[in-house]
Structure 1
Amino acid sequence: MLLVLAGCQTQRGEPGAPPEGQAASANGVDPVQPAGGELTFALATSPDSLDPHRSGLAVAVRVIRTIHDSLVVQDDNGQIKPWLAESWDISDDGLTYTFKLREDVKFHDGTPFNAEAVKYNFDRIVNPETKARNAVALLRPYESSEVVDEHTIRVHLFEPSSAFLGNLSQALLGIVSPTAAEKYGEDLVRHPVGTGPFKFVSWSENASITVERNEDYHWAPETVQNAGVPYLDRITFHIIPEEATRIGSVQSGQVLAAETVPPQNIASLEQDPGIQIFKTDTNGLPYTLFINQSREPWNELKARKALLYGVNVDAIIKSLYLGTYERAWSPLAPGMLGYNKALENSFSYDPGKAAALLDELGWKAGGDGIREKDGKKLTLHYVEVSPNREKRNDIAAMIQQQLKQIGIDVKVEITKDYRTVVFENGDYDLYGNSQVNSDPEALRSFYHSSSTSVAGKQSLSGLKDPAVDRLLDEGNVETDTAKRIKIYEQVQQEIMDRAAIIPIYVFPYTVAASRSVSGLSFDYLGYPIFNDVVLQEK
């Protein structure tokens, strides 16, 4: 996976050069000579939580990763390398992982990092009282752990998992201070304490989040050059949802960098001599519309297929993203292990076919063009989140018009309280979501019948299919990569055969930055890494 910088290709993880006058060490730059300065970085939306175990938003990870380290790291090739864990052994049956931890690490509050801290974190994640979010799925199939000695921990799984070690590299399994977690309880979401290169300073609601350099830091992974203290004094993340304002802030110099560059601005910014554009593809699950199969008539395969044929995805990609986003065809992004390329162009917009399917189900057009059956109008409750991240509200508006042409009355609800509407009440027929992830095991949370992300009863799709369950179970325990690929190719085919979803786009993470910013790099998942960032004269 590549990072494109101002039209030139460079490896995603390639860090910047050390500041002038500083000599590079074996793993970067002399950590006792930080260059200083404040990086201002505009976020497109507000994080939900800075407690990694209780967050479910990618935007939160941008901040979380500055504060929290993980046991291991994935390099540009997806290989697992040491971080807070120096080494590890895996038992022959794949059920026991023994980690040898670094002995020179401490949390921002002075608490020692050790095996007790790791055990506390893992047990905290699976404790229902924590109300952990994505972290629970990532830690599966964790069963228990035991402290062997101060810096050795043995972790037990209830079944083998080919995804487990890679999942431990993710920021949402970052290690929090046990002392802080006990002190703040649920308020840890706004008082994060980790071992990372930056320490939390403040969070102004819907305005900004500030972190400052951790002067004790000297344990960065090999995926960055600077193993020690960051060069920056601090980072202030400004929360600027409005696209024009966010990009205008970079152009005017009010902020030095801004994420999620709108497609209509990319061409002009690439011509701006004072601006550079960073672009990297994200891995995981593309932006997908999940059809709630627990509600009528979408529990009918023909009704779901009518939606699949009735939505003109090509028109959405062309008009909203101007060719800068790639169309999605599958439950997985193209960069994922086992991506099923055969699904590309396997279906297309066909309103005639969609109408015929609805006719077969007995939904006939009424006088106003909206279909009716047994005196009931054919309506669809489409829930989307405010603010308009990546033009997702605009997608809802376009689909509302497209489905009206085949006789479906789409009621669009734009809400900030999506957790209550979708995840607690399950009150939706169509809901869009995506997830940054490194392993196809991520499909389990969205398509396995055992998943209970919505109202404690079902996954977002509501799919409950024994064949899909069996394949997902097999894929997670399979150790042969070639066999895993075949299994997950079949999983994707089965999901699309059941019309469980409407894939929309693959998200390219873009950052516009001043030319004074150097050394910005991205991790394996496409998240920005700030260890090597230096502010220089323009």
Structure 2
Amino acid sequence: MRSTIASAAALTAALALTVTACSSSGSSAPDAGKRGTAATPAVASAKVDYNPQPYSNVKDGGTYTTPGTFDDQGNPFNANATLTATRVWFWYNPDVITYSPTGEVQYNPDYLSDVKVTVNGGNQRVVLTLNPKATYNDGTPIDWKAVKATWQANNGTNKDYNASNTEGYRNITSVTRGTDDKQAVIDFKGVDPWWSSLFTTFLHPKAATVAHFNDAYVKKAHPEWGAGPYTVGTFDTKSGNLTFVRNPKWWGKKGKLDKRIYVNLDSAAAINAFKNGQVDYASTGSAEDLKQISGVNGTEIRRGGSPFEYSLYVNAKSTTLKDIQVRKALLESIDRAQIAKIQFQGLDYSEPLPGSALLYSFQKGYSDNVSSLIKYAPDDAKKILDAAGWKAGSDGIRQKNGAKLTVGYTLLGDDPLDKATANAFAAMLKPVGIQVDIKKADEADFSKILSERDFDLFLSGNRSTDPFGARYLYQFYGTDSDSNLTGTGTPDLDKEIHAASQISDAGKQTAQANAIERKELAQYAFLPLFSGPSIYAVKKGLANVGATIFATPLPETIGWQK
């Protein structure tokens, strides 16, 4: 689960989030110094800053408190899940495969005793030998049936599963029992260079039924179906506050913390809570937040590269935006450099404009797929609208068949930076003759807005939970992918995406994914805008938390440095 959606309302809070695992998007988790140079950086920064410490150098005891709560959908495999679901899942469910900051695969020996990958006759076989001690909290063994259940829920054969990303799983032909129940044999059609991203965590077989997959985790936890060094201690459904405690049924290294606490706070309240010593961590995505937090005693500011990408989503199913010419004119009216300037004001930071939803500019295989198709050209946008029959009215707003060219922009919460960004979009589109109605919504409505596609224009982000961007091409752009927020795509491009997923060479698959993305971007419904720096304020001594890029420090290693 590589890419997990994050709320645009959290632009001051979600440009950098606490360590998470999945993923996405998606699923996963996350120096100092500027990302890029002050002039025109060629690539974004891949620097990390998270005080990495070995398990032996972390104190026993203490608490770690951050903003957060259960999401509407707590199953990270579900298409309606967001980053919140991913990071909460990380604390009480199996973390089987993780990644280093630069994306190297790491197998967790508490779950995997051995991994073998072979290719015979052009088809790949992965054999996972599971730790004999690995057991879910309800006593169910973590064995080949858990691997099979995870595959079956996500492979797309049963459309009743609201799965986030079926690509990759659909190339598996079978999951069978090996030498005993503790060995899973996974056979693929062809070779999948990104197979590890499919099994970063396992679903409990009971959680993998259609009903449970879709609904069991809605505003609920199921610690009995989980496993790991921590389990759910308390969850206050009224306040949203959540506490994890050490899991007495855990067979591995015990969690260093006595308690891991999430306090349900919005982004503005989180800053004040950090200043008052109520939380140990806060994201600082704006200069004002950074200024407020930097003066707090006992605080470290950790800065690094970002595994986030924020984009403007255009709902191609909405009445006004069904016309591709309107969408093209709209995107050509947006000055991405100006949006980035607003976001990064006062942060002493710059970055190249993002060119893809799949990879970051610091990654091998990255291609700027946006700039060749979507340019800031408001004069051209006016000509496009003229040709499409949209004529300027007396107030400058275009009309056609008696209807004004008006689009809604959904703004979550009251954050000043979010408001400034929304107003900038409106100011850019007005001279072209497009009126933007800014529609306010509560941050709590984020998941509902996405699942119901209740927007015209929406700014949201994805967090990359692993480095395998080509894997997620269908998740972004597939016609029947519930994670395709724009509603665009074509059956022919779906076929191309499926064919690309079977290319065994990683470099060639990435190159083909870039070519397909350029075709998808030509539908003018999606515009990558910025990534931003990862900037965290943490209490001094907090270990293995901060800007990690693709890394996911295991929960038992998170705590306070000796």
State the TM bucket, normalised to the shorter chain: 0.7 to 0.9
TM-score (norm 1): 0.80
Q: CA deviation at 1:163?
A: 2.8
2:330 counterpart residue number:
307
Task: Select which of 328, 334, 354 maps to 1:328.
Answer: 354
Structure 1 unaligned runs (5+)? 19-23, 220-227
Deviation at 1:132, TM superposition (A): 4.0
- 1:441, 1:475 within 8 Å by CA — same for their partners in 2? no
1:212 aligned to 2:245?
yes
Aligned to 1:53, what secondary structure does the other structure show? coil
Matches within 5 A, 1:383-532: 383-384=410-411, 386-387=412-413, 391-392=417-418, 394-415=420-441, 416-417=444-445, 419-424=447-452, 426-437=453-464, 438=466, 439=468, 440-449=470-479, 451-453=480-482, 459-465=484-490, 468-469=493-494, 471-520=496-545, 525=550, 529-532=554-557
Residue 25 of structure 2 is matched in structure 1 by none
Structure that is richer in strand per residue: 1
1:89 has 2:117 as partner: yes
Q: How far apart in 2 are the matches of 1:461 and 1:159? A: 31
CA apart distance, 1:468: 4.3
Q: Distance in 2 between matches of 1:271 and 1:300?
A: 51
* Contact 1:15/1:521 (8 A) holds in 2: no
Is the CA contact (8 Å cut-off) linking 1:381 and 1:410 kept in structure 2?
Answer: yes
Q: Map 1:90-489 onto structure 2 (within 5 A).
A: 90-92=118-120, 93-125=122-154, 131-134=161-164, 136=166, 139-148=169-178, 149-157=180-188, 160-169=191-200, 174-178=201-205, 185=212, 186-189=215-218, 190-193=220-223, 194-205=226-237, 206-217=239-250, 219=252, 228-243=253-268, 245-266=269-290, 269-270=293-294, 272=296, 274-283=298-307, 286-295=309-318, 297-322=320-345, 323=347, 324=349, 326=351, 327-332=353-358, 333-341=360-368, 343=370, 348-384=375-411, 386-387=412-413, 391-392=417-418, 394-415=420-441, 416-417=444-445, 419-424=447-452, 426-437=453-464, 438=466, 439=468, 440-449=470-479, 451-453=480-482, 459-465=484-490, 468-469=493-494, 471-489=496-514
Which whole-Å CA distance do the structure 1 matches of 2:115 and 2:321 have between them? 49
Q: CA deviation at 1:233?
A: 0.8
Please state how far the C-alpha of 1:235 moved relative to its aligned partner. Answer: 0.5
Q: Deviations over 1:393-419 (max 9, x none)?
A: 553333123212221122333444455
Whole-angstrom CA distance in 2 between matches of 1:499 and 1:129: 28
Q: Which of 53, 57, 71 in structure 1 is aligned with 2:77?
A: 53
Q: Separation in 2 of the partners of 1:230 and 1:303?
A: 54
Partner of 1:222: none
| Matched-pair contact (CA < 8 Å) for 1:354–1:406 | yes
Task: Spell out the pairing of 1:7-26 with structure 2 (5 A cutoff).
Answer: 15-16=52-53, 24=56
Q: CA RMSD in A?
A: 3.6
Q: Look up the match of 1:225.
A: none
Q: Which amino acid in the other structure matches residue 344 of structure 2?
A: Y
Q: 1:281, CA displacement in angstroms?
A: 3.3
Which whole-Å CA distance do the structure 2 matches of 1:152 and 1:529 have between them?
A: 23
- Match of 2:333, as an amino acid? G
| 1:526–1:356 distance in 2 versus 1, CA, 3 Å | farther
Q: Deviations over 1:351-384 (max 9, x none)?
A: 3222222112111111222111122211223345
Distance 1:201 1:237, change over 3 A: same
Q: Secondary structure at the match of 1:52?
A: coil
Change (3 A) 1:135 1:305: closer
Whole-angstrom CA distance in 2 between matches of 1:536 and 1:154: 40
Structure-2 change in CA distance of 1:453 and 1:534 (3 Å): closer
Letter in 2 for 1:213: R
- The CA deviation at 1:298 is 3.4
**d(CA) in 2 for partners of 1:444, 1:156:** 21
Give SS of 2:73's match. coil
Q: Deviations over 1:61-117 (max 9, x none)?
A: 222111122432222332223222321334433354322111122223333222223
CA distance in 2, matches of 1:496, 1:525: 25
Return the offset for 1:461.
Answer: 2.8
How high is the sequence identity, in percent, across the aligned residues?
21
Q: Partners in 1 of 2:135 and 2:227 — Cα distance? A: 6
Aligned equivalents of 1:106, 1:146: Cα separation in 2: 19
Letter in 2 for 1:208: N
Number of equivalent positions: 500
**Residues in 1 aligned to 2:327 and 2:538: alpha-carbon distance in whole angstroms:** 42
Please tell me the residue identity of whatever aligns with 1:317: A
My pick for the range that moved more, 465-474 or 394-403, is 465-474
Question: Could you tell me which amino acid in structure 2 is paired with residue 399 of structure 1?
Answer: F
Contact 1:289 1:431 in 2 (8 A): yes
Segments of structure 2 that go 5 or more residues without pairing to the other structure are 1-29, 36-45
